[in-house]
Structure 1
Amino acid sequence: MRMLRPPSLSRRFPVWLAGLCCLAAVGLGDPAAAENRLADTASDYLRDHADNPVDWYPWGEAALERARREDKPIFVSVGYSTCYWCHVAERELYEDPAIAARMNAGFVNIKVDREQRPDLDRVLMQATEALGGGGGWPNNVFLTPELEPFFAGSYFPPEPLPGRESFPQILERLSAQWRSDREPLVERAERIAAALRAQSGASGIDPARLDPLAWREQAVAALSETFDPLVGGFAPAGQSSRFPQSPKLSLLLSAAEAGDDSAAEMLDLTLAAMSIGALFDHVGGGFHRYTVDPQWQVPHFEKMLLDNAQLIGLYARAGNRLEQPWYARVAGRSIDYLERRLRAEAAGLYTAESASLDGIEGKSYVFTSEEIRSVLGERADVFLDWHELVPLPESRIDHELPDGGVVNLRPGRALEALDGNQLAAAMTGLEGDYAALLDHRQARGQPSRDRKRVAEFNALAGLGLLAAAQPLDRGDAAGRAVAVGEWLWDTLWDERAGQLSRQAYAGQVSGEAFLADYAATGRLMLALYGSQHELKWLFRAQRIANAIEARFVGEAGRLHERALGEEAAALPITPPLLGDEVGPSGHSLAVVFLLDIGQVMDAPLRQRRAVAALAGFAGEVTADPSAWGWLVGELARPSRAAAVERFAAELAAPEPAGPGASRDHVAVDAQRVEDGEAIEVRLAIDPGFHINANPASADYLVPTRVTAVDGEIGAIDYPAGKPFRAAFATEAIDVYEGELTLRAPVAGDVPTRLRIEIQACDDEVCLAPDTVEVPVGR
């Protein structure tokens, strides 16, 4: 049961790690310390590897510098603390002194906690997919010192298996090839990196094409094509595992609330199947990460705050919409699970609970019928009439399985009771049995928990608790949401700096917060204002909105996942926008939050900026609305859809002509010439105006420059400018006047659009710099 990646919502490759830095290395022959460099990190996952004989580094500048200095390839292993196969790899590989010696001698070895660095996780996962290494965690990528990928994979066995190399064999092969014949590795790395660079960032669209209602309709239609009509859920043909995919369920709920019967049917069947099967923990409450079978019967046993945060609100709201009390019961028991297992004593919620106990996956969760009879006595027959124990599948890699099976409801009887709205009442009669079995289960010991308390996940949990509080009549859930909001503000928000930290761990606050952290926290503050009617929550939401606009909104109003000032220092790339995968993306959360707070504060300019930000990545949404399920579902709600329509129309309206725009005085045209080997760019400058030559005569002047929006062009031989001195100037500058023709050689894929930067001036004043995009004609 290797930890799989959820079904990919986008196969588009992002820009590669062109500016990747802050990696680490070890020296040839360096002895591993008793504790390596992971001992003091703020991550249970990294600390779990602190006493490995592998000389691990965390993600940091020292590693990258050393890798380059010693000319070694880099081994980056990405995982997280509750990943079962990550722990298997540690026991079988990284605790082995012989394997560690090979790693230390031949490679720079780096550990990354994906929940601390989701941006790195996504970029490295794209590299693995491009290399044909599948997808899942642990994600292991071999890089050149120039940070280009040449080999990748997930779990590597310690001994050879049929058709599979062992990890020692992989290390030996790659290390030997790097020393003696690295050219094929380097060529492959350059080829893969070039493919990843070919498509980067987000694609915007004309604001006039923003249409949330059409997106929702298209998304529901797309989901119906991958919907399993027998057991619910969405998966491509042949995929055995099943993930809850909460953003898709949120989309269906939005459509169902708007009267879409087909969406309501898909939602109802999926929620029923997940909660009758063992994705839902019938004994202890809460949801596991995914199931390894399509019938939802055998889970991968880890439990994640991110999943439960969303499913609590979904089940509570769906129970209300579909008039199904069973869903309300499932939501309520999941709230109880969060309180019992993930609430930290110091406030906030932990990130996850492990799948294994004593190194055996599922040991904490399975039961034998003999155990059940021993615990329940004469009540056992009633319990087993309702429940079945589904055996675990045989391990493909000879790992120990626990004795017993997974508790499922018997599907036939459960579905019959569900159809009659009697399932919740029947299970209420078994509460004493569940409690007794839970006590017995807890006596075995409990799986470890990831003690990071992450802003994004906590804020989503607070939103889920608030969403459930009213339909479940659970005042305690609202109280827990308030406590989460207070903790986020008191612990992770720095009022003086006006910024948020990503996490708290072992009493320490650390980590650069991402757009998702800010936007989720802002949404929780605004929701708490709506439920508690205290102005402090509105003021806090306003502070976070200001921080988002100051730190994450860049050129042309586009959103960035990382704060703009941080990108240049750490990872100056745009990680791939994959939509709302396991949870809502930072881009999605930010657009909805800024629209909502603009509505509450009567701030139309803020709403307009939110719609402009949406237009900046809406090309991705238009291409596959179902991949952005949470965003599409939320934007299609009436008040937001009306706001998008209003401000999109304003943004699409032509700007009034006037002397203030450089583009009004320069006409630009581009045509392919020389059988496609070059592009001819013609500029016609209005009489009385000029534009700066390239190079410009002074640093403060903007030179005329042509770049490719897509494709690739080579260096342009810009002509010399004509000297010009304005009446108010003391020195002449070089300018272009009249008509100008430039030749742009095609250096790769032929561009379909070019971007021309200009600054127009007349005898008295220079207008604001401007950027014009033009199509390339044939």
Structure 2
Amino acid sequence: MNRLAGVTSPYLLQHADNPVDWWPWTPEAFEEARRRDVPILLSVGYAACHWCHVMAHESFEDEAMAAYLNEHFVAVKVDREERPDIDAVYMEAVQAATGQGGWPMTVFLTPKAEPFYFGTYFPPEPRHGMPGFRQVLEGVAAAWRDRRDEVGEVAQRIVRDLAGRSLRMTDARPPSAEELHPALLELTRDFDAVHGGFGGAPKFPPSMVLEFLLRHHVRTGSEAALEMAQATCEAMARGGIYDQLGGGFARYSVDARWTVPHFEKMLYDNALLCRVYAHLWRATGSVMARRVALETADFLVRELRTAQGGFASALDADSDDGSGHHTEGAYYVWTPDQLRQALGEADAQDAADWFGVTEEGTFEGGASVLQLPDTERLMDATKLASVRDRLLRARDMRPRPGRDDKVVAAWNGLAIAALAETGAYFDRPDLVQAAVDAADLLVRVHMDFHGRLLRTSLDGTAGGHAGVLEDYADVAEGFLALSQVTGEGVWVDFAGLLLNTVLTHFTDADGALYDTADDAETLIRRPQDPTDSATPSGWTAAAGALLTYAALTGSDPHREAAEQALGLVRQLAGRAPRFIGWGLAVAEALLDGPREVAVVGPPEDPATRELHRTALLSTAPGLVVAVGEPGPAEDAEVPLLAGRPLLDGRPAAYVCRRFTCAAPTSDTKALAAQLGR
């Protein structure tokens, strides 16, 4: 066992028995490189990364390769999900130097942590125009030995270039309604009208853009926005990217038709998409959206929930194919013969027709990824349900993909919001309870009384790495959604602690946000990225949580900080809307008010529950809801409830927007009308 044996990251533990003498990212690793006068090999990946596994098997498990690596380098392994700050800084350098990025990320550093040579996956021998990993190691070692001055100059130039990329808020005005229109036009130009989604292959689920489109449709009545959202959600739900048997979405589709996925399933994708489909149902009543939202929520609880009540990070793409070989997609794909074995001849033919399973296959080795491309032909819903159940039971007998049990604070925050809302919309108290349990774990294990967060835990034990901006923002978002569903004000209080930390430690004097706290470990650059990737950026997620918190509490500093953060969204809206989708969605909430709804009444009173449900089902882009008992202002669990009495002794709802309030009402139809439904 090497030095990774005692860590809490499942990804690092996968490498603990490599012959490579791996170090975790620690000061001692860099001190060792200085002592030996050798460069650092930094290898960054994550547990569900297919090509990380390939490179590990080909190179890091090879005794001769490891021996050369150990002799000439200090090897440092980093889990990008545990240390997104390290990943972000060096990925920026990789992309600037090579024009592309990805994982595994392979970077060579000086003992001062300055990067000077970059790459991603390297095969063990030269292949497809790529140098072999041994060639790379030998070339870097020779450059370090023979051209040290040149290496040092390159490294210093890269560090200077990265240091000059910090963002400054020269104009902190949030976007106006007119300034959001170019974003819609740009998305329309990039929309795939045939297959849904945006751009070509590979295609990633555009979760944050879909949230913007739904909110924009409600505010403006834009049919184009709704049609893009509906078509994309329909195409993904029918395609191979969606697990037609067990629910849940794969990471992305390798083709433009959503047919063949990269099979890893990530917590963050499924949390975001669960919420998108629930919101699509709320806006349209779509039966498909309701089914997918619930199936995805059930997948989260069934497959990713940990024994401690949190949610694990991911399921691997690879699994044992039954012959002892780990193969991508083995758990999910089917051949006609496998259908016959599971269902019998007659039902297998129907299943093949329904799910698009052919002799030629749509994946490797004649296997097919299940799709549901033509629901109009499915005349026998009962039989379809039976076939799906039998196939799922047969699939459960296969070797399962590995699971990364690491609990990431930010992604659990996203899951809490999704499960709380989905449970409330569809009368599933079990889903709401799952959200409460996850929130409780975050408070007990990840959070201290000063409002500081740790990013990860494993088996109920916190890791040692500080939370980054997305952790604070997404956990606050989850807590605020949970409070709006349950009426428990304590979640607003916890969110306030986290957001105060954002204002104190992550925000510059001009309103710019950084991804790490001002007292975090110093890297070659303080990471700062306002654009969405697979999840909302910490910057835009913070803007959304700050805005919601301000609406619930009346806090001017939090609203001002949200508006300042949205200034960058205004600058990017027309140029890169696909990469600022969550910021656009938050801007829609600001333009809507936000729409503040206070529901007062005894929680056991059916009238209170009906008013609360009516409020939660509003499609208002800036909807913020508080529910609780009437009473003195000083006793209100959530400030939005303060000074709101019953109406003639009956439960009542108060709707306010842009500092103006409508007349209170006890009638659900009147409330729906006030909320634009």
Common fold by TM > 0.5: yes
1:253 to 214, 225, 230: 214
| Counterpart in the other structure of 2:385 | 431
| Counterparts of 1:98 and 1:114, CA distance in 2 | 27
Which one has a larger percent strand, Structure 1 or Structure 2? 1
| Counterparts of 1:204 and 1:353, CA distance in 2 | 39
| Cα pair 1:205 1:617 within 8 Å, conserved | no
Q: How does 1:559-570 map to 2 (within 5 A)?
A: 559-566=513-520, 569-570=521-522
Q: Which amino acid aligns with 2:308?
A: A
| Counterpart in the other structure of 1:527 | 481
The percentage of aligned residue pairs carrying the same residue is: 38
Q: Deviations over 1:550-571 (max 9, x none)?
A: 33233234332222222xx433
- 1:224–1:622 Cα change, 3 Å: closer
| Counterparts of 2:160 and 2:362, CA distance in 1 | 41
- 1:320–1:533 Cα change, 3 Å: closer
State the aligned residue count: 586
TM-score (norm 2): 0.82
| Counterparts of 1:190 and 1:544, CA distance in 2 | 36
Deviation, 1:486, is 1.9
Q: Deviations over 1:215-247 (max 9, x none)?
A: 432222111222111101112xxx521110211
- 1:52–1:462 Cα change, 3 Å: same
Which one has a larger percent helix, Structure 1 or Structure 2? 2
Q: Deviations over 1:42-85 (max 9, x none)?
A: 10100100111111111111112222333222211110000011
1:469 to 423, 428, 431: 423
- 1:190–1:606 Cα change, 3 Å: closer
- 1:427–1:560 Cα change, 3 Å: farther
| Cα pair 2:187 2:577 within 8 Å, conserved | no
| Counterpart in the other structure of 1:589 | 541
Runs (5+) with no aligned partner, structure 2: 321-325, 596-677
1:43 paired with 2:9, answer: yes
1:502 paired with 2:455, answer: yes
Q: Which deviates further from its counterpart, 532-541 or 300-309?
A: 532-541
- 1:604–1:640 Cα change, 3 Å: farther
Q: Which deviates further from its counterpart, 280-289 or 595-604?
A: 595-604
1:571 to 513, 523, 541: 523
Deviation, 1:183, is 4.4
- 1:428–1:140 Cα change, 3 Å: farther
Deviation, 1:137, is 0.8
| Counterparts of 1:493 and 1:642, CA distance in 2 | 28
Cα RMSD (Å) of the superposition?
2.3
1:386 paired with 2:354, answer: yes
1:126 paired with 2:92, answer: yes
- 1:504–1:524 Cα change, 3 Å: same
- 1:609–1:316 Cα change, 3 Å: closer
Q: How does 1:289-308 map to 2 (within 5 A)?
A: 289-308=251-270
Q: Deviations over 1:118-149 (max 9, x none)?
A: 12212211111122163211111112334333
- 1:621–1:111 Cα change, 3 Å: farther
1:450 to 374, 395, 404: 404
- 1:223–1:618 Cα change, 3 Å: closer
| Counterpart in the other structure of 1:459 | 413
| Counterpart in the other structure of 1:407 | 370
Q: How does 1:157-176 map to 2 (within 5 A)?
A: 157-176=123-142
Q: Which amino acid aligns with 1:251?
A: F
- 1:436–1:393 Cα change, 3 Å: closer
Q: Which amino acid aligns with 1:504?
A: S
Give the match's secondary structure for 2:6. coil
- 1:590–1:164 Cα change, 3 Å: closer
Give the match's secondary structure for 1:525. helix
Q: Deviations over 1:575-617 (max 9, x none)?
A: 1415122111111121221222122112223322332344478
- 1:427–1:291 Cα change, 3 Å: farther
Deviation, 1:326, is 1.0
- 1:565–1:266 Cα change, 3 Å: same
| Counterpart in the other structure of 1:630 | 582
| Counterparts of 1:606 and 1:461, CA distance in 2 | 24
| Counterparts of 1:585 and 1:365, CA distance in 2 | 31
| Counterpart in the other structure of 2:329 | 362
Q: Which amino acid aligns with 1:502?
A: R
Q: Which amino acid aligns with 1:367?
A: W
Q: Deviations over 1:308-333 (max 9, x none)?
A: 00000101211332332112111111
- 1:638–1:610 Cα change, 3 Å: closer
| Cα pair 2:166 2:528 within 8 Å, conserved | yes
Give the match's secondary structure for 1:558. coil
| Counterpart in the other structure of 1:540 | 494
Q: Deviations over 1:420-463 (max 9, x none)?
A: xxx7x865642221121111112111111001011110110111
| Counterparts of 2:492 and 2:135, CA distance in 1 | 58
1:64 paired with 2:26, answer: no
| Counterparts of 2:511 and 2:190, CA distance in 1 | 35
Give the match's secondary structure for 2:44. strand
1:482 to 436, 447, 450: 436
Give the match's secondary structure for 2:127. coil
Deviation, 1:620, is 5.2
| Counterpart in the other structure of 1:205 | 170
Give the match's secondary structure for 1:296. coil
| Cα pair 1:462 1:485 within 8 Å, conserved | yes
Q: Which deviates further from its counterpart, 304-313 or 138-147?
A: 138-147
Q: Deviations over 1:635-675 (max 9, x none)?
A: 212565579xxxxxxxxxxxxxxxxxxxxxxxxxxxxxxxx
- 1:146–1:544 Cα change, 3 Å: closer
- 1:485–1:293 Cα change, 3 Å: same
Q: Which amino acid aligns with 1:132?
A: T
Give the match's secondary structure for 1:583. coil
| Counterpart in the other structure of 1:273 | 235
| Cα pair 1:312 1:335 within 8 Å, conserved | yes
| Counterpart in the other structure of 1:230 | 194
| Counterparts of 2:38 and 2:569, CA distance in 1 | 38
| Cα pair 2:362 2:368 within 8 Å, conserved | no
| Cα pair 1:316 1:472 within 8 Å, conserved | no
Q: How does 1:50-199 map to 2 (within 5 A)?
A: 50-132=16-98, 134-198=100-164
- 1:217–1:468 Cα change, 3 Å: farther
TM-score (norm 1): 0.72
| Cα pair 1:317 1:471 within 8 Å, conserved | no
| Counterpart in the other structure of 1:652 | none
| Counterpart in the other structure of 1:398 | none
Q: Deviations over 1:333-385 (max 9, x none)?
A: 11111122101112111000000113211111111111112211232222222
Deviation, 1:212, is 4.6
Runs (5+) with no aligned partner, structure 1: 1-34, 395-400, 418-422, 644-778
| Cα pair 1:42 1:506 within 8 Å, conserved | no
| Counterparts of 2:476 and 2:380, CA distance in 1 | 40
Q: Which deviates further from its counterpart, 84-93 or 370-379?
A: 370-379
State the structure with more CA Rg: 1
Q: Which amino acid aligns with 1:329?
A: R
Q: Deviations over 1:252-304 (max 9, x none)?
A: 12222221111111111111111111110101110000111111111111000
| Counterpart in the other structure of 1:709 | none
| Counterparts of 2:410 and 2:557, CA distance in 1 | 26
- 1:212–1:562 Cα change, 3 Å: farther
